[in-house]
Structure 1
Amino acid sequence: MDNYFKVIELFAGVGGFRLGLENSTKFKVIWSNQWEPSTKAQHASLVYEARFGKEGHSNEDIEKVPTSEIPDHDMLVAGFPCQDYSVATTLHNSKGLIGKKGVLWWSIHRILKEKQNKPGILMLENVDRLLKSPAAQRGRDFAIMLKSLDQLGYACEWRVINAADYGMPQRRRRVFILGYLKSQKTYNNLFKNDPFQWLHFDGIFSKTFPIVDEEQKEYTLSLKKWSLTRLTEEFNVEGKTSPFQNAGIMVNGKVYSKKVKSNYAGLYRSLGDVLDHDNVNDDFYLDESELDKWEYHKGGKKLARRAANGHVYYYSEGGMKFPDPLDKASRTIITGEGGKSPSRFKHVVQTPKGLRRLTPLELERLNTFPDNHTKLEGISDSKRAFFMGNALVVDVVKRLANTLEKNL
């Protein structure tokens, strides 16, 4: 009998989950899948194979991979595609689970449903907007996920984790979901436990990332009598706010959640801590002739826009600190971080040599990846930046893995 948890990694990207889990000797990724439908060249998959090898790695559309070809496993992890919920677009325009890439949630569902030997543990990651999308039915998408997991025999706990709140060098807020199959001891412990006790003290998240209440109000609801179809059509059709807060549990169809905040007393890392002062190509320094454009993009402005019906409205955005402060955790990396063109969202730092953009290595450090993890012949700096805009913070997974190792 193997003395480690066999893991499959879906929507693997460049392997953030794997790096975090395999830091512990208790977890071993035995099969992975990475497929990018919008490009002919599979750059992320190439990086994954270069770092972890080709054995057990699939580079084909997961929707076309038969469940029978996926090996039995103890744990399934997935940072499933989040373009439909991304903070780079407005919530009103997000499509949630019915979006072009959002439907890939059902690939996870299909594997869990068809596997006779279901994985005992799930670890899922997405943008925190998942808890309140779509705009017309706040929380509907998450309710559908919770209901489908309940039907498959899982209880779960979730937490929105801002990596910077726990000492990491980037303000990157993501929702993590841990699922436990009914056959797991953890499921029974969760079922028998007081929700407050689990959320604050006994759960994997609370043991890894301590919290205190941000408000005393508790949010509860039952999904037991809801069907997936009814949830899709009727859930929260009149509600203006989501019933799902940034921490919660679901067991046997019953949901309990609260609004919490971090309770961390450790060391903090800043943007300045990750800078590489020795190996920066001149291309990363800003052209003085374009400083006005950079200042315009970073500054506050009020812009007139025209709606589809011809109505003119004004869009306002506040000013940003330019350059980015080095004594604090960085802003969130997005996929458009690469390239020379002036932009509101790209990071710019002041150095003795002048103002410059962040290098791919520095972006990797902000996500706590190993240095030059994405460096590979044929992979451009812009593509490496794109990888980091899509990636998770490895140390979040690493800390969760350490707690899971001690408690499962």
Structure 2
Amino acid sequence: MFHWICRRTESISGFVLFVCCSLIYEKTCNAFSIEKSANFSLITNNSEITSSSNNYFGYSFYVKPLLAGQATLLIGSPKSIKTNTTALNQEISARGDVKKCVLDLTKEPDVTCSSSSPNREREISDDSSILVERDALGLTLTGSAVNTTAVICAPLRGLDCTLKHNSPGACYISSDFGQTWSTDLYGPESDCGATLDLMFLLDGSASVGNTNFNRIKSWVNSVALHFDMKNFANIGVVQYSHYDAQYSLQNQPYIVTEISLGQYDNYEDFRIAMNNVQYQGFTTFTAQAISKTTLDFEASPRFNEVMNTKVLVLLTDGRSSQAELLQGVSTDARSKGIIIYAIGVDNYAVSELQTITGTTANVANNDLIYGLNGFTDLSSIVDPLQQSIVSNIDGGVTTNNTNPLSQAESGMSVTYLDVSFIL
């Protein structure tokens, strides 16, 4: 059973060229195939094209007349797959492709085709590779009627983000009819939209002790494991104990940035660095530590980005030295968009944690405060804390951030005008 879709081009030195697509049904839907008029000889004799019967070669195409008797075609095959892909994974692995075929009407038949796809290779994590592969490049294809400009789209281009799977789509433009392609017209596939700057502020005072500080380090690693540090989260760590007024906040010997925001873009390197943090001892100057951590946030290149969420997680086991300063420094941090969580262990002061977070509810009913009886209880709040942080991101309960292109599927339809193009 054949269904034909034909398109007539302009006359080429006396030739009238028709390009047709046929959708062939057997037991399952096989492939579109391009044919040319006269005796409709198949031009799919190219080994690249016939290597897969389900590549939908010819689903989209664009014809550009050249010299007398010749034309060049850009032909999309949106279900084209990588070589060596198993049948089981063909549907989810379809990257798509575009072929550039030169059609000579003075010979019967004489067609040469080669791949003309944009270079889309990029580093992606193993967890997201299958989803990213589902591009369907070549689902839409168009070009100029007066020059060699062509546009090809991959509307199913996706990105596996920490919070959800985005489907922004992507389009490429070529000024030389597929010889070279620009970067994405909109480029949304490299952007998950929401990002996170997360700082842990850890009490390293004498009352914590070395054994419990090791528990704290393991807990930080457990929370960090939930976040994608390559595409989504910059995570840093500050340890604090004593404050010395003769030094500036950035040069305090015992209020130290152990890991700066974005220093590591993978969990394993972060975990090793966290395990190497050395316990300090001494006092508990929490207010000064909050001020220092605020400066670290401000140093982030993402600090003023609308889609970036800033979260400070403070962990302390006791009462603060110079507690009267907590109100001012905490208010300043929150006024700069920093969401503060406060975790008290054992001998903590609830009133101080409320001041720091800017809340009045008791611990049992406070989303920003966690009260624990001992450091062995830290593991019980790993999941609740992670889920609460996520709730504040990308349109969560605390922010109004949204990414209007995250599910746009740009390029699902495309029309090129010689003054512009419309997606």
Normalization by structure 1: what TM-score? 0.22
Instruction: From the two aligned structures, give the one with the greater strand fraction.
Output: 2
Normalization by structure 2: what TM-score? 0.21
Instruction: From the two aligned structures, give the one with the greater helix fraction.
Output: 1
Could you say which structure has the greater relative contact order, defined with CA pairs below 8 angstroms and 6 or more residues apart? 1
Of structures 1 and 2, the larger Rg is shown by 2
